[in-house]
Amino acid sequence: MSTTEFQLIDAAVEAAGAVAGFWAASAPSVRSGLLRGLASGLEQYQAALVALADEETGLGAGRLNGEVARTAFQLRGFADEVEAGVPYQTIDDQAAAGAPPVGRPRLTRTHEPLGPVAMFSASNFPFAFSVLGGDTASALAAGCPVVVKTHSGHPRLSRAVHEVAQGVLDGMNLPGGLLGLVDGASRAAGLHLVAHPQIAAVAFTGSYQGGTALWKAANERRRPVPFFGELGSINPLIALPGILERDSEALANTLAASITQGTGQFCTSPGVIVLLDHPASDRFVAQLSAALQPIKTHRMLTPGMRNGFDAGVAHLLASDAASQVFEPLADSEGPAPRLFKVDAKAFIEDANLREEMFGPAAVVLTVESIEQATAVLHAIGGSLTATLWGFEDATDDTRALLRAARQIAGRVLFSGVPTGVAVTHAQQHGGPWPASTQPQSTSVGYAALQRYLRPVALQDAPAWALAQQGAQP
């Protein structure tokens, strides 16, 4: 990376740092006005932006228009949160006379925005997890400026969206430093951004390897900062024999569509299917194979991702513990779907068999017992989601598996498939390591803004200090 590129990163971060105090003290009307303006700006230029996004990613106009709608929706949703006073909320404990522990001073719990946030765009969501995506929206709502690191999979789109955003800022007479943009695909660029002393937090969605390198850098700083990283997930799905006896063909079709959606390039794509040894499970695998094999996929987002997927397939083909369920058809624009059977005992014992294949593929494990199914979940260790089909009745078995699923996943589904993440107050998109670095936080949903707020207790504060905080009990 050149000295000039370092200087551009420094300039963007310093511009964010210069306006951090102004934005932390900004009124709800100003913050919400910006978020709504950004949503409208995105919609105003939607046709041109979608065309550019499709050219760079190949995701298709239908998918990309839907993603713009989601991005605008969550920008307005965070504006609603700001107008409801969520980032300004306080808890006020009035003073009580007497000796401790009954007696106490007045304590007012408030929140302080962390400061400039470095946000790393994701490859697979060029709108919803990029320049104006959920990380940016939640940070701005919390009162933090943002410096966006573009992704090499859609750099021209990132620059175009940033230009739209700068137009909105100019139109509202707000400083451009509230939303900076830095290019550079190199590892050095990312590390330099994370290491900048004015960066106060980092948001990342991407690979395990890239995320862990940046996470280490954030913690090795002289002054470590929070790193909110989503590092990938294999999203186990358990289907009990009872539901497969009732509706296996429809479930197989639904699952096949989920595995191949977006050519499998979803962080919530179901990658591990756990079945009990039962005739209904055998029939389900045959139906899933029939549904998967003919599906045509579009090209993957980058050549590197395609190479990674091919390497994952080659690894399983070379493993004595794995076998192909069906012979894949010829590749279309993207890779042909793949389905493997993997020995459950080997899966539990060998971490190499649990690596994410980011693409249209899944593995099937046939377990001998509920205890072995539970062991599979614990071996996975951390996942964004876990899906449980056929858990309508409370039994010792369903209770045990639900407990294991809750321990390893951020979101547990009892119907449907995990691809598709609703933007709501109750959403949790994050899970224990290695799914994310901060499992107590979410990167989707309105609780995401809490990541960028630090609690501060004010003791016996005068009225003017509470007013300066914008405190709203």
Burial label, 173 (beta-carbon count in 10 A; 0-12, 13-18, 19+): exposed
User: Per the residue annotation, which of 56, 81, 230, 356 is the catalytic one?
Assistant: 230
Residues 173 and 196 sit within 8 Å (Cβ to Cβ):
no
Burial label, 258 (beta-carbon count in 10 A; 0-12, 13-18, 19+): buried
Q: Is 230 a catalytic residue?
A: yes
Burial label, 257 (beta-carbon count in 10 A; 0-12, 13-18, 19+): middle
Q: How far is CA 85 from CA 27, 434, 469, in A?
A: 10, 34, 12
Q: Is 267 a catalytic residue?
A: yes
Residues 354 and 244: their CA atoms lie apart, in Å, by 25
User: Per the residue annotation, which of 81, 144, 267, 356 is the catalytic one?
Assistant: 267
Catalytic residues: 230, 267
